[in-house]
């Protein structure tokens, strides 16, 4: 009985040692795989988040889950999961770059439309304001007219600033500002029944 017990204990210890050795042998690859994934995600995360926010959220959840697995010493899961996540990250980076290029093409088209439309809108509004000779249009109080002119001046100045400050680096922000200026001027033109010249 004692011999059998010793053999059982020896076998169990051997299995435990092999299990610990296998676990320990996966620790370093797991840590390296996770570190590489985390670094790449931090480097490319903003690019993905701007163009593909849903994909960014998925990747963020995956990276967070792998970090938890690493803390729980589930090294095999981390090694497998990090490899899959690296592939998903590479695809997301490529897709984000395609989405960004497509968005930039749309913005360039929009900018060209703004450049073509805004001078006529501004000219028509300037004429309307000049023709009123300081008096409000029919159905509008003096204070309303002053506010309308102030709103128009602010929108026109925003357009002028966007036109002057346009660079490749701030292209998206500039188009957004110009779009907003056009919308405000268009709303004022509609209110005053002004047609673009």
Distance between CA 69 and CA 63 in Å, rounded? 10
For 118-172, write each residue's pLDDT tens digit.
Answer: 999 999 999 999 999 989 999 899 999 999 999 999 999 999 999 898 888 889 9
Are 175 and 107 spatial neighbours (Cβ–Cβ below 8 Å)?
yes
For the chain, the domains span: 2-99, 100-192
Vertex 191: Cα angle to 185 and 193 (nearest 5) = 95
For 9-20, write each residue's pLDDT tens digit.
Answer: 444 444 433 344
């Amino acid at each position: 009985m004692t011999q059998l017990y010793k053999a059982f204990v020896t076998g169990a210890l051997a299995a435990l040692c092999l299990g610990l050795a296998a676990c320990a042998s996966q620790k370093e690859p797991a840590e390296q795989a996770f570190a590489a994934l985390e670094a790449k995600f931090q480097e490319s995360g903003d690019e993905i988040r701007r163009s593909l926010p849903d994909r960014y959220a998925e990747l963020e959840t995956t990276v967070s889950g792998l970090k938890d697995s690493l803390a729980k010493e589930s090294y095999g899961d981390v090694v497998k999961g990090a490899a899959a996540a690296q592939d998903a990250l590479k695809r997301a980076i490529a897709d984000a770059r395609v989405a960004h290029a497509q968005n930039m093409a749309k913005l360039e088209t929009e900018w060209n439309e703004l450049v073509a439309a805004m001078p006529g809108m501004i000219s028509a509004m300037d004429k309307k304001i000049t023709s009123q000779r300081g008096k409000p249009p029919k159905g509008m109080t003096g204070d309303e007219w002053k506010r309308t002119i102030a709103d128009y001046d602010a929108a026109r100045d925003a357009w002028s600033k966007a036109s002057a400050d346009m660079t490749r680096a701030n292209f998206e922000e500039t188009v957004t500002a110009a779009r907003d200026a056009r919308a405000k001027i268009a709303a004022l033109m509609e209110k005053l029944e002004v047609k673009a010249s």
